[in-house]
Each structure stands twice: as structure tokens, then as C-alpha cells.
A and B are shown apart, each in its own frame.
Chain A
Amino acid sequence: MDITSQRTDGALIVSAEGRVDGANARKFQKAVENVIGDGDSAVVLDMESLSYISSAGLRSILLIAKGLQKRNSKFAVCSLQGPIREVFRIVGFDKIVSIYDSQGDAVKALGG
């Protein structure tokens, strides 16, 4: 699991790579939270290079989203690959978390 981030058009883009499962879900959550600055009012989690996410990983995303919600920052995920999209659909998270096809769509929607 690797995390990289960049700021574009007023949104923070965090890209995750590899697997997020029970063994590293907490590390993943902390890593994402660490790159989010106080000034970031919109955060997009790009999952294009994510190969696998377990339910513990979904919980981490939920915790990240709740944290942002508390400080009135916006949150979305984008570029979900087939198996990841399927996990979101089965668990019903596609109804809780905003999902966009691309970074551009997500940034536009978050009003960056």
C-alpha cells in the first residue's frame, strides 16, 4: 500500500496504490489523514491503482469521510477499478460515498 498526494484546482488528490486489507487498514487511514491539511476543504481519494480493498479498508474510508464531514470538508472517491467498484456496490457504499469515474469529474463536482 502506497499513498501519494497532490493539490490541484483547490482539491487535494490522494492516490492509493496496492492492497488495503485488515493488516494495513489503520496504517492506510493514518497515512491519508496525515496528508490532509487543515486548509483542504475538498479531498478526492483516487483508487485507480488500488488492486484490493477489504471491509476493514472500507471502514477506514468511512472514518476518513466522517472526519472530513465533521470539519465541513467535502470527500469523494474516483476511478474505481472493476473489483473495487464491485466491493463498493455489494457493501452498499456506493450509496454512502460519492463516486466519480475520473479525477476531473470528482474535482469538478466538489466545486474545486
Chain B
Amino acid sequence: MLRPYKILVVDDEPDLEPLMLQRMRRHIRKGRYTFVFAHNGVEALEVLNRDGGIDMVLSDINMPQMDGLTLLEQIPKVDPNIRSVIISAYGDMKNIRTAMNRGAFDFVTKPVDFKDLQITIERTLAHMQEWREALSYRDKLVSIQNELEVASRIQQSILPSEFPEDMRYQVYGNMEPARDVGGDFFDILDLDKGRMGLAIADVSDKGVPAALFMMSCRTLLKGVAIGLSEPGPVLAEVNQLLHEDNETFLFVTVLYAVYDPGSGEFTYASGGHDAPLLVRADGSAELLPLTDGIALGVVPDLDYRQHSVILQPGDTIVLYTDGVTEAQNMLGDAFEVEGLHRIFAGTLASITAREGTDSVFQTVRDFMGEAAQFDDITCLTLHRDK
């Protein structure tokens, strides 16, 4: 059983107290209401300040020391969630209007009709109850939003923020989530024999479930990649592990590549991910072949094919998620792979990996203009130095 509602009755007429206790006795006995009494506004404020947990105030208007209208202005300073009902003389519209304008929830008139008063009290308390619930939902929402911000920071913090420095190549990536927590990620791994692993991935949804799936995918990929040296078998193993207890039917498209800076050999396998764009030193560009792999986490026991190309000095590989190619402008046109081609065509000889990636983000943003970002945008660029 909930505690009784506590109602403060303020009136300078001594008759009201016994009358109220008598007429409301059934509700008092049932534990629905308890009453506290004060005889003017000053006393009422003392009670409010001293005696916490008052739910509503029922107050007369004309009283010595401090009248009801002044009291109405003071109550929110003690607790803005207390609701007040005014008792006024019959037909005294001027005071009733003033009371309503000062925040009274309702009014009753003298002589008090206790049946009507009881309905008014119930209505006021019901309103107050809903108001308190709304406040508590708002507080919960704020705390969830705070947690989402934390999740978003964790997610950003697991993305590489420092990039390997090597005379022979440059690599640089970035991710901009569409919502608080995204489903894209990229990773750069140190492998044996001086080789480097590059991953870019896109989970098939946004929000918290996708973010958790993304975290687990990234961790599995990292662990598997260090043990196995070829991209195809790495994807096969990660697919198997992700599929094992995937009740959610979330899936992830992954492009995983191994780069050998010594030979310039770039070997990749795609699990349902967009094809890498290879931009040659002369600015000509081609999409590398898809390796026909299925997105990870959906079907067990798959083999993943891989494909190799040799990067010549001055060549660049651009890895991206569909947040880049499917970014829309205000007209509803998509950025497309051609948009990526255009960024790199011609200007490439002097561009660094960082400039390349930054330029992709800048160009996509300019293209989108005021249009909403539907999807996470991720781009990872590898450039073999001359």
C-alpha cells in the first residue's frame, strides 16, 4: 500500500478543520489522505518547509498575515511539483482568475460542497501522479542519453587514432556515426613479417544492439587475424564465430586486407562489403573485383575467396562503407562510387593518405548539404609512397 496523500489545508476559519476531518473520515481511515492544517499563508509556508512530502495545498484566499494569492506565488519556491487548489467566495471571478494565473490547478467555491471537493482532490492528485511519472521518465531518458554518449565515446576510442609511420606507405582512416552509436568500424593491425592488416566493416543496423555486435566483431577479427595470415581464412573463421550464437540476425559486411609494404602486395577478401577502389599514380581508377563473399554472421561453414594486387609507388587504395557511396543530397541523388573516383582523379600524385581521407569526408559533406545523414560514414585510405 502506498503512503497516504498529504494535503495541507490553509484557512483562518477554525470550523473548517473539524468539518474536513469529519467529511473525509472514510478516505482518512482507508489511508488515502492525511490532512495538515494551517491558518494563514505564513503558517502554511512554515509547514511546507518543515514538513516534507506535502502533495497538494487547499487554500482559502482571504486570510490575515499572508493571503492565499501571495501563498500561491511562494509554493513553487518550496517545491514546484506541489499542486494547489483555491477555495474562493462564490462568484468571485476576479480572485479566481488571479489564482489561476498564479498557477492554481483548480478552485472550489464556498460554501464547500464536500462531494465536489473530493472529486477535485482526486483529479488534482491524479494529475500530480502523472506529472511525477513524466518527470521520472524524463530523468530516465536523460540517464539513457548519458549512457549512449558514453557508449559513443567508447566506440570512437576503440578506433585507431594513431597511424603507423613508415617511409614506404601511409594509412589513414576516419568514421563519423549517423547516430549516437554507429555500426561502422575500421582497424589497423600489426602482423608478423612487417605486414599490416586493414579492416573496414558495416553492421546491418544502428543503435545499441548493432554497437555491441560491432564490438564483438572487431574483437574477434583482431584475435583471428593475428593467428591466421590470409584474409580469406580470417573471414571464414570470424564468420563461423559470429554465426554460432547469433540470435539477432544482425550481420556485418567486412573487407579485410593484408598489405606487405616490402612488395606492395595488397591481398583482400570481402564478406559482403563494397569493392576497394584502386587509384593509380596517374589518377586513373578502377574498382577491384568483388570476391563474392557473403556478409558475416548469416550462414555457417563458408569459404571466402581472396584476391591480390600489387600497389605501385604512388598508388592508393580507398576502402569505404556504403555511408559514403549512398550519401544523399537534398535532391535524393546518391554520391555513388563515381563521386569517389572524381575526388582522386588527377590530383593524386601529391596527396597524402590523410588528405585523401579528409577530402572524402569534406566532399561528401559538401555534397549532402543540408540533407540528413542516414548512415555512418567511414573511409580508410592506404597510399604507397614513391
A residues adjacent to B (C-beta < 8 A): 21-23, 25, 52, 54-56, 58-59, 62-63, 66, 89-93, 95-96
Contacts and interface: CB of A to CB of B under 8 A. Distances in A.
B294 interface: yes
Give the interface size class of chain B. Answer: 20 to 34
A59 B292 contact: no
Task: Give the secondary structure class of B's interface.
Answer: loop
A8 B340 CA distance: 45
Contacts of B292: 92, 95
A96 B374 contact: no
- What are the nearest 8 A-B pairs in CB distance? A92-B294, A55-B204, A91-B272, A59-B204, A92-B272, A56-B205, A91-B295, A22-B206
Contact of A96 (B202, B205, B294): B294
Contacts of B293: 92
B250 interface: yes
B249 to A, nearest CB: 5
B259 interface: no
Given A54-B375, A56-B206, A91 B249 contact: no
Interface of B: 178, 202-206, 249-251, 253, 271-275, 290, 292-295, 298-299, 322, 326, 374-375
A62 to B, nearest CB: 5
Given A91-B294, A92-B293, A21 B249 contact: no
A47 to B, nearest CB: 17
A98 to B, nearest CB: 14
Contacts of A21: 374-375
A96 B271 CA distance: 13
A23 B204 CA distance: 12
A96 B299 contact: yes
Contacts of B251: 55, 58-59, 62
A37 B44 CA distance: 65
B374 A59 contact: no
B273 A90 contact: yes
Task: Give the secondary structure class of A's interface.
Answer: helix
Contact of B272 (A63, A66, A90): A90
Contacts of B298: 62, 96
Contacts of A22: 178, 205-206, 374-375
A95 B292 CA distance: 9
Contacts of B178: 22
Contacts of A55: 202-205, 251, 253, 295, 322
B290 A90 contact: yes
Given A22-B205, A55-B322, A62-B298, A90 B249 contact: no
Contacts of A95: 292, 294
6 contacts: A52-B326, A55-B295, A58-B204, A92-B295, A96-B298, A96-B299
Nearest to A88: B272
Tell me which of B205, B250, B290 has the highest count of chain A C-beta atoms within 10 A of its own C-beta.
Answer: B205
B334 to A, nearest CB: 8
Contacts of A66: 249
A54 B325 CA distance: 12
A25 B253 CA distance: 18
A59 B294 contact: no
Given A56-B205, A92-B295, A96-B299, 18 more contacts: A21-B374, A54-B322, A54-B326, A54-B375, A55-B202, A55-B203, A55-B204, A55-B253, A55-B295, A59-B205, A63-B249, A66-B249, A90-B253, A90-B273, A90-B275, A91-B272, A92-B271, A93-B294
A7 to B, nearest CB: 27
Contacts of A96: 294, 298-299
